[in-house]
Structure 1
Amino acid sequence: MIKLSDMVLQEVDALFSTLSQPVFLLDRQGRCLVPRQPDTFMLPATLQENVLVSKSGYLFLTLPGLETYTLATKDRPESHDVLLLCAKLIQTFKQEQGITKELGNALKRLLHEELSVQEMDTLMHDYDIAQDTPRATLFINFSRLHQQIPHDTLAEYIPLSETDLLIPLDTRNLVIARDLTDEGQEELMEYAMALLDTLQNELGLHALIGIGQVARSLQDLPASYEQAKKAIQIGSLFQPETQIYQYHNLILERFMMDCAPEDAKPYIAAVFNRETAKLFSDEMLETVNVFINRDLNLTDAARDLYIHRNTLVYRLDKIQKVSGLDLRHFKDAMLFKLADDLRKRDTSKTRK
């Protein structure tokens, strides 16, 4: 939600003072902001941006891009042009003050914990941002630059509520602080899936989305932001086949990332060693991973691999004979997964 700064309101006041016909700038409750006076207007029930509506002898116009502000004046033949002109001039004032850019920069500094207490208070006051609204951070990483698509164009395609915060970071990353007052984790995941679908199908952009844990206040947003970034970093390593990663669902993967390389070596060597080097080809590794991902279900895994069930049984028997691991048993399957994921992590670090 964009709020006009005090400086812009002063310019609007100066503009209105030059007009021969009184014009009023109202908030969404009908209170008069410019000029300052105690009068309250009864707003029409249906107001749309940039659409003139007449009621009780007054003409009303909600400002485009500033839906919380409405212009009002006496309904006269010339009122139509007067309100449209005022709306354009206010848009010019807003652009000159760079409200959108200022807000984006302030929110970016918030994520990086660079705002002082006073600056935080100013941010909440000037842009009407509630401090204690629960929000989850969605970190969106584009696989290629999207400089050809401006952020304001992206904003038109991204579904946002009035209390969501869109924070462009650079040409490859942006953040959405999603208001979860009326939503839970299931709805948040559905939102992320719909967002990913929109980016891919409407704009042709390939993206990864990391989701941080819920921030209970604006001050907690940086922690959620860091978690969302880490979710992509960890999730894309261990689950490269997916594009949305929730930090709270990556407990095992986070544990493995924190495991020191020297501590991981014995676990990796228990599965990947000289005796098993020829056994675990790319095809065999794919077989095992699909089998584990299908919850050790032979029929489902064979179907996903496009092989006969007996072929899968033969491969599992071969693994048991060479490595001693019977992956049809949960304990052995988990040992393999742990060793394989640690191996992937260390291989990734070596490449970097």
Structure 2
Amino acid sequence: MADRFFQGYVYQLQNSISRTFGVIDNREIISCSNQELIGQKNTFNLMSRTNEENDGFIAGKNTYRIFYENSLVKFAVFVEGIDKEAKDYATILSVCFTGMKSYFEEKYNRHLFYKNLFLENILSEDVNVRANMLKIHLLKPRAVFLLRFEHVDAQWELNHLFMAMDRPGKYEILSMTETDVIIIAEVRSNTSREDLENMGVYFQKKAEELFGVLPVVGIGSIVTDIRQLTESYKESLYVLELLYLFEDGTTVLHYNHLGINRLVYQLPLPLCERYLNEVFIKGSFASLEEETLETVKCFFSNDLNVSETARQLFIHRNTLMYRLEKIKRLTGLDIRIFDQAIIFKLAMVIYRHVKYKE
């Protein structure tokens, strides 16, 4: 873990420092601006060394400066040369790496805490204690946003996503699995689900800009207690499990927008198939053309308004009436009638559910 951390920063700094430099642990070079030197064994025992006042120490042709971890000698920066410039570089790098490592480890520990919280690997009575140790507020409105990619590349710098956000201090971003990235967002307790979905679209676009991949986003409910975050996470997972039930290409959805799909998802398949056989003439729904189904979707989205549907589809009112009559003839349902429209709408969702599970 440490070698990857240091090498990332060495890589960013190597064009600004004209000398070979890097980091060693007690055994070997673990990161270096000259990658061929990585893994080279130390010629001295780092544990026995100390910084000579503010100048570090010199060994061979390099200047070294130790930085400590919990008062223990763990790492040292080295810079090629034994002149004043080398000493100055070593001092600056040790200060930078010490600060960055402390920040990284605090973040990493926070992320490990959240992962264990979501996976319910922490006893309920220990949650508040560990959160306090990590300086995480216990009572603050938060919601979980789950971004699912086809694959989370190990080379992605999630910190870049963090820094690209407006008000980055309001978010915690962590990789949960090989496909899932979690954003824990601080929000107002009265934030509407529409506003949360707009936030989800914002996160989605930022992720696409940085990584070139468009994730789907599930959003859990707002919770005020740190111990309730697990429920928000479970809800965001549940949303992504149900996205296939939405025919309109939905890619960002809040838990409270699942609607009737939540009920359909819990129905056993035999019951779903029996319902379809009772509602439709056998094979009639499957025989509907794509154009006809698009007409139905538009008709429903316009609250069964014939004129508005015809306008949006750029067809004559009589053409629309012909299509609706055709649906009635094939399925036995007249979706111009409210009760039968509800039956048809429910049947569409159940049909998608059955086909997905087959």
TM-score by length of 1: 0.68
Higher relative contact order (CA closer than 8 Å, sequence separation 6+): 1
Equivalent in the alignment of 1:68: none
- Residue 60 (structure 2) aligns with: none
- Superposition map of 1:94-105 within 5 A: 94=102, 98-105=105-112
CA distance in 1, matches of 2:116, 2:283: 53
Percent identical among aligned pairs is: 23
Specify the alignment match of 1:276 in structure 2.
Answer: 284
Paired residue secondary structure (1:114): coil
2:315 aligned to which of 307, 311, 323:
307
* Alignment correspondent of 1:73: none
Alignment of 1:153-192 (within 5 A): 153-181=160-188, 184-185=191-192, 186-192=194-200
What residue in structure 1 maps to residue 31 of structure 2? none
Unaligned runs of 5+ in 1: 1-14, 21-79
Q: In structure 2, do the counterparts of structure 1 residues 290 and 149 end up closer, same or farther at CA, with 3 Å as the change threshold? A: same
Spell out, residue by residue over 1:35-76, the C-alpha distance to the aligned partner (whole angstroms, 9 max, x if none): xxxxxxxxxxxxxxxxxxxxxxxxxxxxxxxxxxxxxxxxxx
Q: Where do 1:210-289 residues align within 5 Å? A: 210-274=218-282, 276=284, 279-289=287-297
What secondary structure sits across from 2:224 in the alignment?
A: coil
Change (3 A) 1:304 1:321: same
Give the structure 1 partner of residue 18 of structure 2: none
Cα separation, partners in 2 of 1:109 and 1:81, compared to 1, 3 Å: same
Secondary structure class of the residue paired with 1:209:
strand
Distance 2:243 2:118 in 1: 21
CA contact (8 A) 1:268 1:340 kept: no
Amino acid at match of 1:285: L
Q: Which residue of 2 aligns with 1:124?
A: 131
Kindly tell me: are residues 93 and 274 of structure 1, through their superposed partners in 2, closer, same or farther at Cα, counting changes over 3 Å?
A: closer
Contact 1:212 1:247 in 2 (8 A): yes
Change in 2 beyond 3 A, CA 1:204/1:299: farther
Query: Does 1:138 pair with 2:170?
Result: no
Q: How many residues align?
A: 276
Structure 1 residue 179: Cα displacement: 1.2
Identify if the C-alpha distance between structure 1 residues 225 and 341 changes in structure 2 by more than 3 Å, giving closer, same or farther.
same
Kindly provide the amino acid, as one letter, of the partner of residue 335 in structure 2.
L
CA displacement, residues 264-299 of structure 1 (integer Å, 9 cap, x when unaligned): 233212343336257523332222122212322223
Q: Does structure 2 conserve the Cα–Cα contact (< 8 Å) formed by 1:129 and 1:163?
A: no
Structure 1 position 190, deviation (Å): 2.5
The answer to whether the 8 A contact 2:189-2:224 is kept is: no
1:113 aligns with 2:120: yes
The CA distance in 2 between the partners of 1:183 and 1:133, in whole Å, is 12
TM-score (norm. length: structure 2)? 0.67
Structure 1 residue 213: Cα displacement: 1.1
**TM-superposed deviation, 1:84:** 5.8
2:15 equivalent in structure 1: none
The one-letter code sitting in structure 2 at the alignment partner of 1:232 is L
Distance 1:279 1:168, change over 3 A: closer
